[in-house]
Amino acid sequence: MCVIVLASHLLKHAQRYPGRSLPLSQLVEETRSKVLPNHLLDSKIYARLKINSHIEAEPPELHFSGFELGKSYTKTVVRITLVQTKTLICELDRLIPGLAYTVNVAFCPDDWCYFSDCIRVHCKDEENLLIPVHAYPVINDLHIPTHINLSAIPLGQSVYHVIPLRCSCPVDFEFQVYIIQPHDAYSIYPVAGVIPANGEVLLTVTFCPLQYETSQFTFQLVISQFKTKPYLCTITGFSRPNLPLR
């Protein structure tokens, strides 16, 4: 039906504009890209992580934590019969019992974002292995001390300690502060926000002693970074009699 309609359209065009040639693009059908089916991907389930009854992958997953655009990075993983991933290229081979093969996985980022893929290892008895691959930007210049000692101050006065949160990559990172060990003499601001790309945010801890004692205040800083660990910081301050006023 489509061919008849197209032929009728071209005939009317020729009758309306005699002697004028038709563009060849109207006579040639556009090429349609078609993804070839992969039997192992379409018919098999890949769900096991790290180890099955046949092989063990070491490491169980790959992480490219922190990168620069256009720069190549390589990681290794043990493999058996590999099914090609969507974006990473691997060779197909077999593993002799008792031996191990190592494959290099190359990663060259072209954007500041989170990348994910996986290596699928096809085994018998439906024990197919899955090796996740992750790549993501990180904050490399974030230094949070585990312990901070404040100088002694008189009652009723305040001392401030500033902790800079810096980011040297062009990606924003959210952060959240959780109070683990509260104390009435301490406060911290802000408790949530965004570390701007190629910028910094200042965490300000205020200590205002209410009585003569040595006190502690503990907070936890969490960054919205893939596979990050919380930063734990304890601040110690004290006040004693006969201190000069500031």
Q: Residue 4: CA atoms inside 13 Å, Cβ hemisphere, count?
A: 1
Q: Where are the domains of the chain?
A: 39-136, 147-238
Domains 39-136 and 147-238 share a fold: yes
Task: For residue 17, report the phi and psi dihedrals to the nearest 5 degrees.
Answer: -120, 75
User: Tokens at residue 135, please?
Assistant: 């790549």
Task: For residue 244, report the phi and psi dihedrals to the nearest 5 degrees.
Answer: -65, 145
User: Max CA-CA distance within the chain?
Assistant: 108
Q: How far apart are CA 100 and CA 80, in angstroms?
A: 8
* DSSP-based helix, strand, coil % in the chain, nearest 5: 10, 40, 50
Is residue 160 helix, strand or coil?
strand
Q: Return the pLDDT at 46.
A: 64
Q: How far is CA 44 from CA 41, 69, 121, 127, 148, in A?
A: 6, 35, 11, 10, 55
pTM for this prediction: 0.64
For residue 138, give the nearest of 177, 170, 182, 161 by alpha carbon: 170
Q: How far apart are CA 65 and CA 134, in angstroms?
A: 8
CATH topology of domain 39-136: Immunoglobulin-like (2.60.40)
Q: Return the pLDDT at 5.
A: 41
Which of the four CATH numbers 2.60.40.10, 3.30.479.30, 2.40.50.180, 1.10.10.10 does domain 147-238 have?
A: 2.60.40.10
Contact at 8 Å (CB) between 177 and 220? yes
Contacts of 16 (CB under 8 A, 6+ apart): none
Q: Return the pLDDT at 161.
A: 95
Taking the chain (246 residues) in runs of 10, the rounded mean pLDDT of each run is: 42 51 52 61 64 73 76 65 46 56 80 82 73 85 90 89 91 94 94 92 94 94 88 92 69
Task: Kindly state the helix (H) or strand (E) to which residue 235 belongs, with its residue range.
Answer: strand 231-238
Secondary structure letter of residue 126 according to DSSP: G
User: Tokens at residue 121, please?
Assistant: 């290892």
Q: Where are the alpha helices (DSSP H) in the chain?
A: 2-16, 39-43
For residue 52, give the nearest of 111, 130, 106, 115 by alpha carbon: 130
Is residue 115 helix, strand or coil?
strand
